[in-house]
Structure 1
Amino acid sequence: MREIKHLNYDWNFLPHFEEKYLELAELPDCIKVDLPHTVKEVPYNYFDDKIYQFISCYHKILNLPSIYKGKKLLLKFAGVMGYAEVFVNGKFITNHFGGYTPFTVDITPYFNFDEDNHLIVKVDSTELSDIPPFGFVMDYLTYGGIYREVSLEIVEKCHIEHVFIKTKKVTDVNKQLEINIVLNEPILDDNNALRIKIFEGNTIIKTITHALNINDKEITIKDIITDIKLWDIEEPNLYNLTVELLNNEKLVDNVTERFGFREVSFQPDGFYLNGKKIKLRGLNRHQSYPYVGYAMPKSAQEEDAEILKNELGVNIVRLSHYPQSKHFVNRCDELGLLVFCEIPGWQHIGNQKWKEHAKENLQEMIINYFNHPSIILWGVRINESKDDDVFYQEMNRLAKMLDDTRPTGGVRNFKHSHLFEDVYTYNDFVHSGKNQGLDKPIKVTGKKVPYLVTEHNGHMFPTKKFDSEAKRVEHALRHLRVLNAMYQYDDLCGAIGWCMVDYNTHKEFGSGDRICHHGVMDMFRLEKTAFYAYSSQQDKYPVLHVASTLNTGEYDASLLSRVYIFTNCDYVDVYRNDDYLGRFYPDQKEFKYLPHPPIIIDDFFGNLLENEGF
């Protein structure tokens, strides 16, 4: 039977590495740490990214009784930034290139039972030029360390390696279920079988048994299933599927995966979920936080998903520019928040070795995130990179080979790019305050294809939480102008704004303080005015945000001529003290396509002067 032991506590850490550590039973002057962990806590702002770019050492003692002899021991790393080498008892086992995708290490041949085993992970947090996203300047930081969780899985010699679940024809009465099961090695004898159980809550709603033949290693099982609730953004119904490996009817191994029945389709006239057309309104998310960078626990990851769905009211998030915590994506599954998941990178394409690591990143991303119903689009290009036809044809081919159920995209920042993916994904920064919100889709693509805007605003109007009121309001209005244009174009799948929260960056970017103030929230997840531009567009709960403190001294010549109210209410009644000024309605003139245009208060006197005899 499979056992999982979590290894997140009681690690030893040193901010340097020496070869002699591999032979020592105890590291000198080490620091006790728990995971997730960052190699260096950084200041909030005004710091040099070199302070976390060094080689460090993580050490942990593992001790297992001999009852586990004959089993396989698999170390699972959810994320190590950015290059890792793994050693057990002084022996090198493997390395991993890239900090954003999980990897597994078989430590069985190197492990001694009934005694202490020394696990050492050498972590290189420098920006190695042959690993994506590195090789040139980039507009975010990567920090360093074992910043996601680690576990040890104890399995039988022959065990289940992967389970991939596909749902098709979900709008039919008879829905199609396809399960691809990969064993770690071929079946060597008779009397083996797979038993599959599908659960709705704690109730088994279907059981499938499949006999295995000698040499079976990759098995595909197809079945029809009825009376199923679909997964969508309003009712994200989830099911559990357990695969059991049996030998002579005795349970050898089992794996449980959570999934949902849903189908997605990007068409030239828009995006469809389970056959229903939906306009995608979203924000980009970086996974960084103040001080600790990426090293935040499950609760914080889940909270970001909850903020996006329940407070900001968006229906899609782009994981920019890399795969992010499974805790975040799990919560997206539960909330009905759609996800665009892309490979690590930012503008730069490196040499052939770099490209091979990018392919590895793509493969690890799809394999590890396959069963999440919230993920509707794979990003197979490097964000904002130039066309590279041979490379990107291969990346799209690899993605389709691994997953033929999801569409692919690749984010560009120039028009008429060569399109090998299913969706033309484009960063549209045309809006500068007084012009159109977005370019027409056909002007960008040059032909009728599925089209999704993946960034807007952002660097076009950086706004700090402590900027002047007028600037903070204009920041919010710019987001609304783009959203208004998005709703105007029926053939536009949607628009994903830049971005959810501010983030630390390199010296070439940001406001000179090592922060990009591009978010609708700051790094502490505190709301800017633009936060309410988004939250006011949803219909689940009432929103009414008066975007002014009504302090006239905030404005030139103490002239406050209008106040914006971001709300989803039909109208507002305004009083000055106890005197009624009037009823004000949404601004349908400038924002005629928005679900909920802002309301402008431009009369602060009403009939008060007449009532006083003027």
Structure 2
Amino acid sequence: MRITKFISVLVICLLFGAGNLFAQGNFITNVNGRTHQSLNGKWKYILDQYETGQIGFSPLYKNSKAKSKSDRVEYSFDNAQTLWVPGSWNSQKEELYYYEGSIWFRKTFDYQPKHKNSRIFIYVGAANYKTTFSFNGKKLGVHEGGFTPFSFEVTDLLKKQDNFLILGVSNRREKDYIPAMVTDWYNHGGITRDVKIVEVPQTYIDDYTLVLQKESLNKKTRVVKGSVQLAGSDYPDKAKVEIKELGVAAEVSINKEGRGEFAFSSKKMSLWSPENPKLYDVKLIAGEDELTDRIGFRTVETEGKEILLNGKPVFLRGVSIHDENPVRRDRAHSMDDAKLLLGWAKEMGCNFARLAHYPHQENIVRLADEMGILLWEELPLYWGIDWKNEDVLKKAKAQYSELVRRDKNRAATIIWSIANETVPGEARNHFLREVASQVRSLDSTRLLSAACKKDGWEDGLAGDNYKVSDPIAEVFDIVSFNEYQGWYGGSPETCRNKRFTIEYNKPVIISEFGGGAIEGFHADKETRWSEEYQEYMYQENLAMFDKIDGVVGLTPWILVDFMTPLRQLPDVQDGWNRKGLVSESGAKKKAFYIMQNYYKNKKEEYK
């Protein structure tokens, strides 16, 4: 296996040139707040099943064309078929439904910069899983990770006419990838989120952070501290942060590394919360660059077995969500997709959502800011991760760095989760401690957790007393665990005798529970796959969880049925996980209303 992999890498290096294989630096953040133009739409594509980057031994990224009747070029983007971007190739053409491999996409366009002396970047919201990026015949680098953004600068390569962007995307699964070989969701391949041309000045605002200080929470004057990082070579001495609605105009001194820190205070600030999702227009100015973002200010912390939002206890009325539009049977990528999913969650009474099991599209995070829905964001450290592989650890840290960079200014995001259903062990514990330390260093203002297992999880029948004692929970702020009593073990009524011992004096979230039902299939409550069975199971599970000391939130699995090759039972699953409270057609199952009523009562309790 190692020899085969070595030969594959050697072949790629010989074909592409090993010196060109590098990943980009920091991607452009807040692209919608900058000068930008969409490159979405129909793209030409060529399949590359052998994943060499060559068809007929001609480099695909070169976009070669025959210059004379004797020239040999064995591919043609010009005459190729098209796929929509963003979107997964599996959902667009029947013959690609189960395809896992490489596809090379080409987009041609003309572009005239909107400003003089601009720097031009091309931003990709996400492409699953590994992407080779080339522009106008020059290969610029490789990005790994199927759910986080990346961008490359193309300033010196840009032409007014006849530009071509070629992205080679592979969704092949490998042991040393994140996620690894097996997942319980669909492996949508392709350019799954927006592609944009972004313009910035020669020196631009690369990064920024604004944080409400906890110590000022109960004072008349609220204090916000933050930082600005510039990119370029000629840094201005000063930058500014303005919030007109609050009368804020803070001056920022920029050091020789292009960094500046600042603080401002306000007596008029309204705190962000699910009941009052107040956002302020924040303008950052540095030299020729002006950038606007909408930011809410709130605090989150734990105290004993409670989660405090703005200093007050909160119960997280949540649900787990996959980043998928079930109606289109495709990866979610638009604001309309986000509205569909969060609209169902809001109707159920949620003030919280677990974005499982990987970073979701930025639209859903920003919409949660607007709607007042708190978020748990997650990295796909899932089944089968190679915990002993230091390269995999580096990938995990890189992917989390990209996620935190994108979403650290979103008020809605309160929990970073680093794993789901992983088995304790020396190698895993070391790996996750390293990731936890990395996330803390990037953002110490949010809470840290992971969806853990409990003893006896595999069969749900290990006696009536369960212990939640995963050693990795020592480094978390919140203890979270998945519980499927009544589905993967026992019948729903066995929930009545179960007892849980939590080894840590921390808040507890039940990060998954539930079971499958076919929407429209009705029978008695003992008939599996019926809506009545799912309804009964939810009733018994909720009564069981109410007895656990310290439970401050639930995220049942899952909001809506989702695609997965692991679920193949004919005429029942047919390639879908049926644990959704909503069917893939948008019909609500009976258990949806159980949760809706439960959350209505919880909302009254926590007023």
TM-score (structure 1 length as normaliser): 0.79
**Offset from partner CA, 1:424-476 (integer Å, 9 cap, x none):** 111122354113369655x1x32322322101123xxx211132243312312
2:413 corresponds to which letter in structure 1? I
2:469 corresponds to which of 405, 411, 416: 416
- Residue 299 of structure 1: aligned partner: 336
- Residue 554 of structure 1: aligned partner: none
Q: Does 2:88 match 1:27?
A: no
Query: Relative to structure 2, which stretch is displaced further, 22-31 or 344-353?
Result: 22-31
Report how far residue 133 of structure 1 moved.
0.7
2:360 corresponds to which of 302, 316, 324: 324
- Residue 401 of structure 2: aligned partner: 363
Q: Does 2:335 match 1:288?
A: no
1:484 corresponds to which letter in structure 2? A
Runs of 5+ unmatched residues, structure 1: 247-251, 540-567, 569-592, 597-614
| Structure 2 Cα separation of the partners of residues 49 and 477 of structure 1 | 39
Report how far residue 529 of structure 1 moved.
1.0
Q: Residues 123 and 145 of structure 1 are in contact (CA less than 8 Å); yes or no, is this contact kept in structure 2?
A: yes
| Structure 2 Cα separation of the partners of residues 477 and 372 of structure 1 | 37
| Structure 1 Cα separation of the partners of residues 250 and 81 of structure 2 | 50
| Structure 2 Cα separation of the partners of residues 24 and 235 of structure 1 | 56
User: How does 1:79-94 map onto structure 2 within 5 Å?
Assistant: 79-94=126-141
User: How does 1:340-489 map onto structure 2 within 5 Å?
Assistant: 340-350=376-386, 351-387=389-425, 388-414=428-454, 415-418=468-471, 419=473, 420-431=475-486, 432-436=491-495, 443=501, 445-458=502-515, 462-470=516-524, 471-489=530-548
2:344 corresponds to which letter in structure 1? I
Q: Residues 74 and 152 of structure 1 are in contact (CA less than 8 Å); yes or no, is this contact kept in structure 2?
A: yes
Q: Residues 329 and 563 of structure 2 are in contact (CA less than 8 Å); yes or no, is this contact kept in structure 1?
A: no
2:90 match: secondary structure: coil
| Structure 2 Cα separation of the partners of residues 475 and 438 of structure 1 | 19
1:210 corresponds to which of 244, 247, 252: 252
| Structure 1 Cα separation of the partners of residues 198 and 261 of structure 2 | 24
Q: Residues 87 and 121 of structure 1 are in contact (CA less than 8 Å); yes or no, is this contact kept in structure 2?
A: yes
- Residue 219 of structure 1: aligned partner: 260
User: How does 1:46-125 map onto structure 2 within 5 Å?
Assistant: 51-65=98-112, 70-109=117-156, 111-125=157-171
- Residue 284 of structure 2: aligned partner: 243
| Structure 2 Cα separation of the partners of residues 325 and 312 of structure 1 | 22
Report how far residue 210 of structure 1 moved.
2.2
Q: Per the alignment, do residues 525 and 15 of structure 1 end up closer, same or farther by CA in structure 2, a change over 3 Å counting?
A: farther
Report how far residue 50 of structure 1 moved.
7.0
Q: Per the alignment, do residues 489 and 389 of structure 1 end up closer, same or farther by CA in structure 2, a change over 3 Å counting?
A: closer
Give the number of the structure whose alpha-carbon radius of gyration is greater. 1
- Residue 130 of structure 1: aligned partner: 176
- Residue 517 of structure 1: aligned partner: 578
1:157 corresponds to which letter in structure 2? Q
The alignment of Structure 1 onto Structure 2 pairs a total of residues equal to: 522
| Structure 2 Cα separation of the partners of residues 525 and 486 of structure 1 | 28
Q: Per the alignment, do residues 100 and 437 of structure 1 end up closer, same or farther by CA in structure 2, a change over 3 Å counting?
A: farther
1:507 corresponds to which of 553, 557, 566: 566
Q: Per the alignment, do residues 66 and 259 of structure 1 end up closer, same or farther by CA in structure 2, a change over 3 Å counting?
A: closer
Q: Residues 493 and 540 of structure 2 are in contact (CA less than 8 Å); yes or no, is this contact kept in structure 1?
A: no
2:406 corresponds to which letter in structure 1? N
Q: Per the alignment, do residues 6 and 141 of structure 1 end up closer, same or farther by CA in structure 2, a change over 3 Å counting?
A: same
| Structure 2 Cα separation of the partners of residues 411 and 335 of structure 1 | 25
Q: Residues 321 and 383 of structure 1 are in contact (CA less than 8 Å); yes or no, is this contact kept in structure 2?
A: no
- RMSD between aligned alpha carbons? 2.7
**Offset from partner CA, 1:489-530 (integer Å, 9 cap, x none):** 452122211111111112367666221111111122221111
1:41 corresponds to which of 88, 91, 102: 91
| Structure 2 Cα separation of the partners of residues 235 and 369 of structure 1 | 20
Q: Per the alignment, do residues 437 and 409 of structure 1 end up closer, same or farther by CA in structure 2, a change over 3 Å counting?
A: farther
Report how far residue 316 of structure 1 moved.
1.1
| Structure 2 Cα separation of the partners of residues 328 and 341 of structure 1 | 11
- Residue 29 of structure 2: aligned partner: none
2:318 match: secondary structure: strand
1:133 corresponds to which letter in structure 2? P
| Structure 1 Cα separation of the partners of residues 437 and 496 of structure 2 | 34
| Structure 2 Cα separation of the partners of residues 260 and 236 of structure 1 | 7
- Residue 552 of structure 2: aligned partner: 493
| Structure 1 Cα separation of the partners of residues 212 and 498 of structure 2 | 35
1:435 match: secondary structure: helix
Report how far residue 288 of structure 1 moved.
2.1
1:4 corresponds to which of 21, 29, 36: 36
**Offset from partner CA, 1:273-332 (integer Å, 9 cap, x none):** 1122122221111122345421543212222112101x1111211111011011111111
Report how far residue 69 of structure 1 moved.
6.6
| Structure 2 Cα separation of the partners of residues 438 and 96 of structure 1 | 50
| Structure 2 Cα separation of the partners of residues 338 and 301 of structure 1 | 14
2:228 corresponds to which of 170, 181, 186: 181
**Offset from partner CA, 1:537-592 (integer Å, 9 cap, x none):** 355xxxxxxxxxxxxxxxxxxxxxxxxxxxx8xxxxxxxxxxxxxxxxxxxxxxxx
Q: Residues 306 and 506 of structure 2 are in contact (CA less than 8 Å); yes or no, is this contact kept in structure 1?
A: no
Q: Residues 499 and 520 of structure 1 are in contact (CA less than 8 Å); yes or no, is this contact kept in structure 2?
A: yes
TM-score (structure 2 length as normaliser): 0.80
2:241 corresponds to which of 155, 174, 196: 196
Report how far residue 48 of structure 1 moved.
11
Q: Residues 508 and 552 of structure 2 are in contact (CA less than 8 Å); yes or no, is this contact kept in structure 1?
A: yes
Report how far residue 54 of structure 1 moved.
2.3
Q: Per the alignment, do residues 67 and 286 of structure 1 end up closer, same or farther by CA in structure 2, a change over 3 Å counting?
A: closer
| Structure 2 Cα separation of the partners of residues 171 and 438 of structure 1 | 43
Report how far residue 66 of structure 1 moved.
7.1
Report how far residue 376 of structure 1 moved.
0.8
1:40 corresponds to which letter in structure 2? N
Identity, % of aligned positions: 21
1:220 match: secondary structure: strand
